[in-house]
Structure 1
Amino acid sequence: MSAIDTGRLLLLSTLWGVSFLFMRIAAPEFGAVSLIFIRMSVAALVLLPLFTVRRYRELFWQHVGRLTVLSLSNHVLPFSLLAWATLSLEAGFTSLINATTPLFTALLGAALFATPVQKQQYLGLAIAFVGVYVLSANRLDFSTGGDGWSILAALGATFSYGIAGNFSKARLSHLPAQVVASGSTLMSALILLIPGVLLWPETPPSLMAWGNVLALAVFSTALAFFFYFQLLASAGATATSTVTFLVPVSALAWGYLILGEVLSVQVLIGMAITLLGTAITTRLLRLRAPKAPVV
């Protein structure tokens, strides 16, 4: 990976890591759905100039149905679930649950899209889910005030990401990245228009909340998409997927420095186990089979 791509990777992990901080601060005042409505609407406006290219507009209308499916599975549903989860979960903790996205991508790819899964990947899946259990075992309380439902919501978001990743690869990989990013973002804003307005908070959000939601839209959505697709085109999918391991580290650091979130031994151990399993599942870490003895 070149120095420029390494810089893009670090910047992307920072932009996506700090997004959990932005949601953690803004979600209590906006509510999950209205927050994501603003996020996608502002991001769509930032990316709207891409539609000045006639070819992009034509491709958008030709594939508007598939882009709508992608917007629902990759933006509307998972972003809303994560925003709702951050109402009670710490930013760093939520980002660690989000790091299971490659696991659901592999499982759903094997189950629904005939994507082959190697034996070592099954081992990685098992290790990663053990890590998730270590992270959340003492927090799976589904009574009033418990974190159980929020943890399930965050896992539901990663499940949705798994559907989106496989669907995008199977049905939209032939489209330019600019069309996929701008088209799915625009459709997300349109889908969220009515629920976002109906669920708008009665109490006007503070300037602090507005600043965080605008930063979430501009930096962690529109700008992050720009760097993501640049990196994908330059460095390839495997190198780009390493951002999965950097985002939780970034989110944990932001949560610790800005929000004063506690980095417990349980969280650090759970993070290490989860990321180890994810590395094996994505085949960034390959286990060598023992050599047969020479006779």
Structure 2
Amino acid sequence: MFQKLYIFVAGYLFMKTNLTTASKTQHPLLVWGLLALLALIWGSSFILVKKSLAVFAPAEVGSIRIFAAFCFFLPFFLVKLKKIPFNKFQYFLLAGLLGNLLPAYLFSWAGSKLDSGVSGALNSTTPLFTLIVGAIFFRNKITQRQSIGIVLGFVGALLLILAGASGFHVNAYAFFVIMATLLYGINLNLTKKFLTGLGIDSFLITTCIFMTIGPIAGTVLFSGDFIPKLQQEGAIQAMVFAMLLGVLGSAIAMVLFNRLIQMTSAVLASSVTYLIPIVAILWGVLDGEAILFQHYLGMSVILIGVYLVNKS
């Protein structure tokens, strides 16, 4: 019952915010299709982390994820080499560290002790941190309604952090997800300030970002016992899951997301936030995870907070 109620809340907020906007686009069916595909890819990333951790350590899963995305973008980088603004290297590196590499490790560490559905819900706090960082460091204004949304969002996050089968207790691994979403919020503001107006498209910007962090991830991956672990039972399957995280979740999904922004608006594209936890919860339920009433309550409060923050 709680699962159906939560899905209803998330679906209602999503439709209330975006039904009219999407219907006014030139290709509404394509827009809805891209939103659904992005929700499926990003919502599935948490269960993929969990399956990859069956063999590999969190640092290895995060490294495989980023290194796979690096390999995906490498041919495009070589083809477009003459168009690369190498004088912006420090900003590409910063965006890579804050928006991809460090969060990949944090989500992997969280996934070792945290259910995928809960990780997916906590991931929804990204818009809240984006707004807070923008207000503190970039002088963006926060309305009274957005302030209420921020408070509600963090109350929901606190409920998730404290939720447990035997009552309320602190799940420290949830703070890894919170740290990752904080980094996302910082990165989004920095990217907007320093990586816009470069005269190159968003696909090439994303390519440059992964070129800076891919070698770091590769060094971490191959400096440990990754190669010997490939001989273990189930290692190849676990590696495929981690590679899917990189190629689909960190590479192709970003291309689709940027395309969606070009077709509609950043607000509509960011509404995928409402759908990601639904997919993550469904995967968790199918995998036998115990989603409690406190979890659904916390998730619903977070999404209501995000709705107030994004509501135009």
Instruction: Return the TM-score normalized by structure 1.
Output: 0.88
Distance 2:77 2:244 in 1: 23
Asked if residue 40 in structure 1 is aligned to residue 69 in structure 2, the reply is: no
Provide, for residues 231-280 of structure 1, a one-character-per-residue CA deviation record: whole Å limited to 9, x for no partner: 111111010110111111111111212x1112322211111111000111
Q: Give yes or no for contact 1:95–1:248 (8 Å, CA) kept in 2.
A: yes
After TM superposition, the structure 1 = structure 2 runs for residues 184-223 of structure 1, keeping only pairs within 5 Å, are: 184-201=209-226, 203-204=229-230, 206-223=235-252
Shift of 1:74: 0.2
Q: Deviations over 1:174-233 (max 9, x none)?
A: 242012211112212122232222344463351221221122122222221121111111
Runs of 5+ in structure 2 lacking a partner?
Answer: 1-21, 23-27
Q: What residue number does 1:104 align with?
A: 129
Partners of 2:46 and 2:85 lie apart in 1 by: 30
- 1:239 lines up with 2:268 in the alignment: yes
1:252 to 252, 270, 281: 281
Query: How many residues are matched?
Result: 277
| In structure 2, C-alpha distance between the alignment counterparts of 1:96 and 1:199, rounded to whole Å | 32
Between 119-128 and 148-157, the greater mean CA deviation after superposition: 148-157
Separation in 1 of the partners of 2:175 and 2:224?
A: 22
**Pairing 1:13–2:18 present:** no
Given that residues 65 and 104 in structure 2 are in contact (C-alpha distance below 8 angstroms), is that contact kept between their aligned partners in structure 1? no
User: Greater CA deviation, 212-221 or 3-12?
Assistant: 212-221
Deviations 1:139-197 (A, max 9, x none): 5xxxxxx8633111111101101110100111112242012211112212122232222
Indicate the SS of the match to 1:44: helix
For the residues of structure 2 that align with 1:216 and 1:12, how far apart are their CA atoms? 13
Residues 64 and 218, structure 2, Cα contact 8 Å, conserved in 1: no
| TM-aligned CA distance change 1:84 to 1:120, over 3 Å | same
Which residue of 1 is the match for residue 49 of structure 2? Answer: 23
Moved over 3 A (4+): 199-205
* TM-align CA RMSD: 1.9
Q: CA deviation at 1:9?
A: 0.8
1:159 aligns with one of 166, 169, 182: 182
Cα 1:273–1:31 shift into 2, 3 Å: same
Q: Distance in 2 between matches of 1:214 and 1:11?
A: 18
Task: Provide, for residues 99-142 of structure 1, a one-character-per-residue CA deviation record: whole Å limited to 9, x for no partner.
Answer: 10111111111011111111111000011111112222245xxx
What's the counterpart of residue 289 of structure 1? none
Unpaired segments ≥5 residues, structure 1: 140-145, 287-295
What's the CA shift for 1:52? Answer: 4.5
* TM-score, scaled relative to structure 2: 0.83
Task: Report the counterpart of residue 293 of structure 1 in structure 2.
Answer: none
